[in-house]
């Protein structure tokens, strides 16, 4: 317990401020939102993912961590600052932090292994945070859906083509399905389940 | 208190310190802390926050637990620049005291601070608490009434 990163300096106001930024990202899918004055990163998490967890995760929301991020330091950090239980199975989690990469044993589980909610309660689904190397510079994709005027072009880097096949399947589950957040540095960008991605 | 105390002994000592510190009068703790002189720099890991905890009790010590009521508690956590973490929980609304308790708890991880804190903060507080306890006992003892018609079960 000796190297816990400090959390939000002013938990009430800072989390409100950060929540507003996350809301902005979800209302404008594909728009890169730079978090205002985010807390220091709990390595190996990015600053944006750290801020997201401190803002939205609490003792009622089990958190699943990708094997690469499931370190004692991150577990201690989330336990101390948020009180969130660490989920052992993706199916038990309401929030998750993932790293893009090979799926399968020890790798990133497919996004459909997380709760997608039910038709009467689509809100009982998971929100997944993907740690990416960068939110720009990757292959261009065009997003359309609520919150986007016509088309929004997004160039996420570090995602495999197979990921977008998974996303199309997730989109077909509407109103069920998971919501995604992509984080890099202090920036984040949201991909709610209502958005269609042209491949 | 040597630097090579066993984990169990260290835990017992930590429990004793935290118990004494959290029950000490806030103002008195502040005075003793200032008299300690120069102390390491620290950052607040969790700044003092006030909340409620449910206090549980047991009837006659063996019955089922029941909720006795809620009490106000202030908690804080600090980290010294060397990385040592300390926590403080204090009854009532006492932000400054919770911070000081957490700070002293963090210092207890440093061997060269244990003896000065024991001698200059904990020992005086123990003595003062004992004095207060004796005064309270003496005050209560003065109100003792002997009912001659009721047989005492033990003692006089």
Label the pairing between strands A95-98 and A63-65. Answer: parallel
DSSP E strands: which ranges in A66-178? Answer: 95-98, 127-131, 141-144, 152-154
Question: CA dihedral defined by A157, A159, A165, A171, rounded to 10 degrees?
Answer: -70
Q: In a 10 Å sphere around its CB, with 0-12 CB exposed, 13-18 middle and 19+ buried, how is residue B146 labelled?
A: exposed
Taking any CB pair shorter than 8 Å as contact, residues of chain B touching chain A are: 43-47, 49, 77, 79, 83-85
Whether A184 contacts A134, CB under 8 Å: yes
C-alpha closest to that of A80 among B94, B20, B79: B79
Q: CA of B89, closest CA in chain A: separation in Å?
A: 15
Q: Cβ B46–A2 below 8 Å, yes or no?
A: no
Q: Is residue A1 part of a domain?
A: no
Confidence (pLDDT) at B5: 65
C-alpha closest to that of A102 among A137, A67, A62: A67
Question: CA dihedral defined by B4, B8, B13, B14, rounded to 10 degrees?
Answer: 100
Domain boundaries, chain B: 7-141
Model pLDDT for residues B51-107, shown as the tens digit of each residue: 999 998 887 777 888 899 999 999 999 999 888 999 999 999 999 999 999 999 999
Which CATH number goes with the domain that contains A142? 3.40.50.11310
Q: Is residue A129 part of a domain?
A: yes
C-alpha closest to that of A194 among A178, A171, A173: A171
Q: CA of A57, closest CA in chain B: separation in Å?
A: 17
- From the list B49, B77, B84, the residue facing A2 with the nearest CB is B84
Whole-angstrom distance, CA of residue B97 vs CA of residue B91: 10
Q: pTM of this prediction?
A: 0.83
Q: Is residue A169 part of a domain?
A: yes
Whole-angstrom distance, CA of residue A174 vs CA of residue A116: 9
Model pLDDT for residues B100-134, shown as the tens digit of each residue: 999 999 999 998 998 999 999 999 999 999 999 99
| A125: DSSP letter | B
Examine the pLDDT at A103 and tell me if it is beyond 60: no
Q: Which of B81, B84, B85 to mutate to test the interface with A (most CBs of A within 10 A)?
A: B85
Examine the pLDDT at A107 and tell me if it is beyond 70: no
Q: Is residue A2 part of a domain?
A: no
Q: Of all helices (H) and strands (E), which one includes residue B47? A: strand B42-58
Number of domains in chain A: 1
Taking any CB pair shorter than 8 Å as contact, residues of chain A touching chain B are: 1-4, 6-7, 9-11, 80-81
Q: CA of B43, closest CA in chain A: separation in Å?
A: 8
Q: CA of B150, closest CA in chain A: separation in Å?
A: 55
Model pLDDT for residues A155-183, shown as the tens digit of each residue: 999 898 889 999 999 999 999 999 999 99
Nearest residue in chain A measured CA to CA from B42: A6
Domain range for A41 is 11-198
């Amino acid at each position: 317990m000796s190297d816990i990163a400090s959390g939000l300096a002013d938990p009430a106001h800072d989390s409100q401020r950060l929540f507003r930024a996350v809301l902005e990202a979800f209302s404008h899918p594909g728009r890169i939102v730079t978090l205002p004055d985010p807390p220091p990163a709990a390595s190996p998490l990015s600053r944006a993912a750290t801020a997201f967890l401190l803002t939205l995760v609490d003792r009622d929301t089990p958190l699943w961590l990708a094997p690469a991020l499931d370190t004692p330091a991150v577990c201690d950090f989330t336990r101390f600052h948020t009180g969130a239980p660490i989920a052992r199975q993706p199916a038990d989690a309401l929030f998750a932090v993932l790293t893009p990469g090979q799926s399968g044993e020890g790798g990133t589980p497919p996004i459909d292994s997380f709760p997608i909610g039910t038709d009467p309660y689509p809100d009982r689904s998971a929100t997944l945070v993907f740690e990416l190397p960068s939110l720009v510079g990757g292959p261009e994709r065009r997003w359309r859906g609520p919150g986007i005027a016509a088309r929004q072009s997004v160039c996420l880097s570090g995602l495999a083509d197979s990921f977008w096949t998974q996303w199309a399947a997730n989109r077909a589950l509407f109103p069920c399905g998971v919501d995604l957040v992509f984080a890099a540095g202090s920036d984040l960008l949201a991909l709610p389940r209502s958005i269609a991605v042209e491949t | 208190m040597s630097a090579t105390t066993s984990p169990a002994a260290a835990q017992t000592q930590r429990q004793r310190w935290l118990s004494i510190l959290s029950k000490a009068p806030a103002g008195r703790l502040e005075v003793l802390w200032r008299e300690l002189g120069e102390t390491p720099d620290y950052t607040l890991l969790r700044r003092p926050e006030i909340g409620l905890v449910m206090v549980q009790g047991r009837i006659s010590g063996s019955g089922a637990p029941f909720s006795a009521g809620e009490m106000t508690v202030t908690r804080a956590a600090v980290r010294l620049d060397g990385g040592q973490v300390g926590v403080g929980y204090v009854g009532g609304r006492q932000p400054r005291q919770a911070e000081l308790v957490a700070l002293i708890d963090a210092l207890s991880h440093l061997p060269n601070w244990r003896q000065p804190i024991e001698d200059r903060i904990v020992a005086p507080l123990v003595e003062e608490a004992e004095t207060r306890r004796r005064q309270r006992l003496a005050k209560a003892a003065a109100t003792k009434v002997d009912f001659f018609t009721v047989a005492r079960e033990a003692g006089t």
